[in-house]
Chains A and B, each alone.
Chain A
Amino acid sequence: ETGVTQTPRHLVMGMTNKKSLKCEQHLGHNAMYWYKQSAKKPLELMFVYSLEERVENNSVPSRFSPECPNSSHLFLHLHTLQPEDSALYLCASSQGVGNIQYFGAGTRLSVL
């Protein structure tokens, strides 16, 4: 398998649930990102990891918790989300922070 793979593709959760989004990149990159994409809004950068170290937390609420166990995997742990957190969550990777980013297909999240 090539590129950036995200699972699940769709997720519906209640406000009290705990779930995790998974991202895996097969490109040999050393930087990974989480973005949020809401309707009619620009892509919002949430977190950046470089060589498994978090280099940016872009004022994201603590109900979103990222984890990067190695350079190929990135998780986003979710708990006690709000309905306004419903969005498309995109993972991306690049070789070197800030260089051309390649995106996964995204996880469409609905919070009820």
Chain B
Amino acid sequence: QKEVEQNSGPLSVPEGAIASLNCTYSDRGSQSFFWYRQYSGKSPELIMSIYSNGDKEDGRFTAQLNKASQYVSLLIRDSQPSDSATYLCAVKGEGSNYKLTFGKGTLLTVNP
């Protein structure tokens, strides 16, 4: 049973701070990793994808991947109230041609 674990939160940070969201996964052969953002009552939207060890930056967002530790994280710099949402980690395992396994998500609240 492939599992993706996230702290459900809520994670509360002040405006302008760095928000750090973490995700661990059980399938050591996993190759593709995604972060989705889901506002309350809305559908998930892709923020970042990462496929190799290290950091990947896109604007205020940085995804970090450590396959040896089976750990992927998302950093949000200069957090804004509009970043308040649930962040879903999704992992595509080795040999799994079509299934993304999603975590339960972490609720982030950015306080003005």
Contact = CB atoms under 8 A, between A and B. Distances in A.
Interface stretch (A61-69, A73-81, A97-105): A97-105
**What does DSSP make chain A's interface, helix, strand, loop or mixed?**
loop
Interface string B75-93: 0000000000000100010
Interface residues of B, number: 22
B111 interface: no
Question: Which size bracket describes the interface of A in this complex?
Answer: 20 to 34
Interface string B1-18: 000100010000000000
Interface in B27-53: 32, 34, 42-46, 49
A48 B98 CA distance: 8
A43 interface: yes
Interface string A78-112: 00000000000010000001101111111000000
Contacts of A48: 98-99
Contact of A100 (B4, B49, B96): B49
B99 A45 contact: yes
Nearest to B103: A42
A98 B96 contact: yes
Interface of A: 31, 40-43, 45, 48, 50, 55-56, 90, 97-98, 100-106
